[in-house]
Amino acid sequence: MTTIDAYERWAETYPPVAHNPVMRAEQSVVEPLLRRLCPRRAIDVGTGSGRYLSILASAGARAVGVDLSRAMLTRSSGTRICADAYSLPFRRGAFDLVNASLMAGDIADLDAWIRELARVAAADGHVVYSDFHPTWAEFGWRRTFETADGRSHDIAIQPHTIEQHLDALEAAGLTVRAIREPKLVSERDRDVERFRRKWGDPPVVVVFHATTAS
């Protein structure tokens, strides 16, 4: 199935929280950063079930979520718009903060996508986004989900190297402030324990924080 078809099917069982160890590892880095930045106007691109919309709102931002999947948007609350991440329906410089959580793995044209994130970011604005770490491609890990009928499905991951991200950020005129590579959060989780026995403790996510020019 196509990526959009996969999300339309997944929406019924997709909760509005970080529901697996990879998402929790990502959120352990991204959430404190978003709160520290204290944005006034924010957009969450690829918002899915809207887990970051409530976080942005509690940090004081007027936040809007954008996603291409209408089914996913019905799972979230707050201001939501169905739109393509390559062509966001907002003016240039509309947001102090642009966030995109783990959607880069769905992006084939990384340069075009990052240019669009940069376009809607205000002067001295922040762009924060995460991707599946290149270790996923190195180890051949799969991204799967279960539908309400219990069937398991795969979603393809578009692999990107960290160098490709850096090149795309530079080409979009963004300045990288930080790169974080979180590992699975230490917790009493049998899935995490099994993972570490098999794979060790590699990073599973990469998070980029960049800023626009003033």
What pLDDT is attached to residue 91?
98
Per the prediction, the chain carries an average pLDDT of 94
What pLDDT is attached to residue 98?
98
CA-closest candidate to residue 172, choices 107, 206, 121, 133: 121
Neighbours of 110 (CB within 10 A): 19
For residues 159-187, give the mean pLDDT. 95
Q: Is residue 154 within 8 Å of residue 143, measured between CB atoms?
A: yes
For residues 141-167, give the mean pLDDT. 93
Q: List pLDDT tens digits, range 10-55.
A: 998 898 889 899 999 999 999 999 999 999 999 999 999 999 999 9
CA-closest candidate to residue 61, choices 131, 129, 126: 126
Looking at the structure, give the CATH architecture of the domain made up of residues 3-211.
3-Layer(aba) Sandwich (3.40)
Q: What's the pTM value of the predicted model, to 2 decimals?
A: 0.95
What pLDDT is attached to residue 40?
97
CA 88 to chain CA centroid, Å, is 16
What pLDDT is attached to residue 157?
94
Task: Inform me whether the pLDDT recorded for 72 exceeds 90.
Answer: yes
For residues 178-205, give the mean pLDDT. 91
The domain locations on the chain are 3-211
Rounded to whole angstroms, the Cα distance separating 87 from 77 reads 22
Rounded to whole angstroms, the Cα distance separating 64 from 43 reads 5
Confidence of residue 69 (pLDDT cuts 50, 70, 90): very high
Q: List pLDDT tens digits, range 99-116.
A: 999 999 999 999 999 999
H/E element, 27: helix 21-37
What pLDDT is attached to residue 189?
80
Neighbours of 53 (CB within 10 A): 25
